[in-house]
Structure 1
Amino acid sequence: MSFSTEERGAPNTRDHRVYFKNSSGEFISPFHDIPAYANEAENIFHAVVEVPRWTNAKMEDVKNGNLRYVANVFPHKGYIWNYGAIPQTWEDPNHRDEDTGCCGDNDPIDICDIGDKVCSRGEIIKVKALGTLALIDEGETDWKVIVINTEDPEASDFNNIDDVRRLKPGYLEATVDWFKRYKVPDGKPENQFAFNGEFKDRDFAIKTIKSTHEFWKALVSKATDAGGLNCMNTSLSGSPFCCSAWEAKAVVESTAAVGAEDAIPTSVYKWFYYEK
């Protein structure tokens, strides 16, 4: 199974889009048409890279009409992992998690890929889950699953969260620090965590991914309210949101053609310093 992307609009503008295609060249939804599992028997998942390591642009976000860039909070430059999501998962905002006591954040489950490769935006990678951190973001449960790309040269050495602690000392502590403080430059308080900021292990992470996959099934079958989420897909024949390849292509062709890249605002390169 292979995937490709097509850009539309001018990069670093509000018109910029990255669309996904399947191996037949037909447009698909990265949320709904890419399988959650790359190998279900071995608990290998697909992940869509949204933000490559060391970059700042939050591709899916617009704030007050402007593109959103995450701040550099010393000593972190942009995102400190390849950041993205597992398709066909959904953190249900109507479900109160029994472990965190908070409802979901209405998004696919997030991943932090700790592999050495700096991925490209829109790249689809196969990952294994190592553990998870339960961020409480403005009162919502926002799981951050620590994963490693299965193509990483050292992937076989990483099988649980303790392997990250042992082989990449400081990385987990930096991850907690990053998520705690990344919104402070926007005038918001530090984020909080369930479990006192402790990481849960591989089995817990896999259980969490699987539960959010079940929530997603309810979402695309209209067994639960989708709210404002776009559930349009091209491959789920039993879904009331399923559309034809022609309809998907029409959506893409209605957007602006790819254009020259705009400059990134110089404010993105500013550093912020806070006492821990």
Structure 2
Amino acid sequence: MRSQLLRSSFGCLLTVFGPFPASCINKAVRQTAAAVPHSYYPRKTMHYQTEQRGHPNSPDYRIYFSKFISAMMNGPHITVFIASFSQIATKEPLNPIKQDVKKGKLRYVANIFPHKGYIWNYGALPQTWEDPSHKDKETDCCGDNDPIDVCDIGTQVCSPGQVIQVKVLGILAMIDEGEMDWKVIAINANDEDAEKLNCIEDVRKSRPGHLEATVEWFRKYKVPDGKPENQFGFNGEFKDKDFAVEIIKSTHEHWRALVQKQTNAGGIECKNMSCCNSPFQFSADEARAVVQSAPAFGSAHPVSAEVDKWHFV
């Protein structure tokens, strides 16, 4: 009964850390499903507030969740979304959202012609973990040490820190520099198109070219940084929602082992306030001190003109 419910109506609550403007945050936020078996079932959406610290468009900028919920170790039914090269700071307490940095400089998603920034709301499923010690039997690649990324193809642009419920439609097996980096295709459950999109073939029929554009976007988005094109398992074909749910369940089990200290943490900061029986739990006072130690929220720094450059690759 449980697996049938998962197959027919899998729902996740997502937090959207973006889309920040194409000029802001980069890389994807990650995590999923729940710490207890029944948490895979659809639940009533909960409301989460965020607290900004530091200066937007600077290395010290962070977004924390209210009530000191970790963006990676959070409670049973949050899914984290983000855009524009933001990322979950997996090696910091409470795993806040931050601007991605490369070689001391802020990183922004490149505008690969004809696309301006991301082409969907880009984020991740909380309480999932792509274990770098686990080799996928289909692709023979190990996980990338992050939560699973999600592409919400809904019609509404989401805002940073937003939590939404999504319907899983399929999944793409991207291989990023030899690491397994799954991309779940989903739609906001409250979207005007959610009722008519129930599988990956529905997406193909109702939105001609969107799936092909998704593959091309992921194939080329790191090329402007001097990196090779990304590769894909299954010849770049999308797998269906049943396959996607099995991957989500598997990475949730890896996350459970992580938060229960049953596996190597891979450098991830696992301190949390909400995971039952986790040896990494800490107090509200300790969590509050983490947030308050971050720089106070201030005015945004200017954004580099590089973010508006077109790349033709």
Q: What residue is the counterpart of 2:231 in the other structure?
A: 192
In structure 1, how many angstroms separate the alpha carbons of the residues matched to 2:152 and 2:58? 26
Q: What residue is the counterpart of 2:213 in the other structure?
A: 174
Give yes or no for the alignment of 1:14 onto 2:59.
Answer: yes
For residue 56 of structure 1, report the CA deviation from its aligned partner: 5.7
Give yes or no for the alignment of 1:212 onto 2:269.
Answer: no
Runs of 4+ in 1 over 3 A off after TM superposition: 55-60
For residue 98 of structure 1, report the CA deviation from its aligned partner: 0.5
For residues 103-133 of structure 1, give each alpha carbon's deviation from its aligned partner in whole angstroms, at most 9, with x where no partner exists.
Answer: 0000000000000010011111111110000
In structure 2, how many angstroms separate the alpha carbons of the residues matched to 1:161 and 1:210? 19
* Equivalent position SS for 1:69: coil
Matches within 5 A, 1:116-155: 116-155=155-194
Give yes or no for the alignment of 1:33 onto 2:69.
Answer: no
Q: What residue is the counterpart of 1:43 in the other structure?
A: none
For residues 179-215 of structure 1, give each alpha carbon's deviation from its aligned partner in whole angstroms, at most 9, with x where no partner exists.
Answer: 0000111111111000000000000001100100000
Q: What residue is the counterpart of 2:203 in the other structure?
A: 164
Q: What residue is the counterpart of 2:5 in the other structure?
A: none
For residue 28 of structure 1, report the CA deviation from its aligned partner: 1.1
The root-mean-square deviation of aligned C-alpha atoms, in Å, is 1.1
Q: What residue is the counterpart of 1:228 in the other structure?
A: 267
Unmatched 5+ residue regions in structure 1? 38-45
Q: What residue is the counterpart of 2:3 in the other structure?
A: none
Equivalent residue pairs, number = 258
For residue 227 of structure 1, report the CA deviation from its aligned partner: 2.1
Question: 2:61 touches 2:99 (CA, 8 Å); kept in 1?
Answer: no
For residue 57 of structure 1, report the CA deviation from its aligned partner: 5.3
TM-score, length basis structure 2: 0.80
Q: What residue is the counterpart of 1:5 in the other structure?
A: 50
In structure 2, how many angstroms separate the alpha carbons of the residues matched to 1:134 and 1:60? 25
**Aligned partner of 1:230: which letter?**
E
Question: 1:97 touches 1:103 (CA, 8 Å); kept in 2?
Answer: yes
TM-score, length basis structure 1: 0.91
In structure 2, how many angstroms separate the alpha carbons of the residues matched to 1:174 and 1:214? 31
In structure 1, how many angstroms separate the alpha carbons of the residues matched to 2:271 and 2:111? 35
For residue 240 of structure 1, report the CA deviation from its aligned partner: 1.0
| Aligned-pair identity (%) | 60
* Equivalent position SS for 2:135: coil
Unmatched 5+ residue regions in structure 2? 1-45, 88-97
Q: What residue is the counterpart of 2:300 in the other structure?
A: 261
For residue 153 of structure 1, report the CA deviation from its aligned partner: 1.1
Give yes or no for the alignment of 1:115 onto 2:154.
Answer: yes
Give yes or no for the alignment of 1:48 onto 2:85.
Answer: no
For residues 232-272 of structure 1, give each alpha carbon's deviation from its aligned partner in whole angstroms, at most 9, with x where no partner exists.
Answer: 11012311111111111100000100000111100111001
**Aligned partner of 2:239: which letter?**
K
For residues 6-51 of structure 1, give each alpha carbon's deviation from its aligned partner in whole angstroms, at most 9, with x where no partner exists.
Answer: 1001100011000002xxxx2110211132x4xxxxxxxx421211
In structure 2, how many angstroms separate the alpha carbons of the residues matched to 1:127 and 1:73? 27
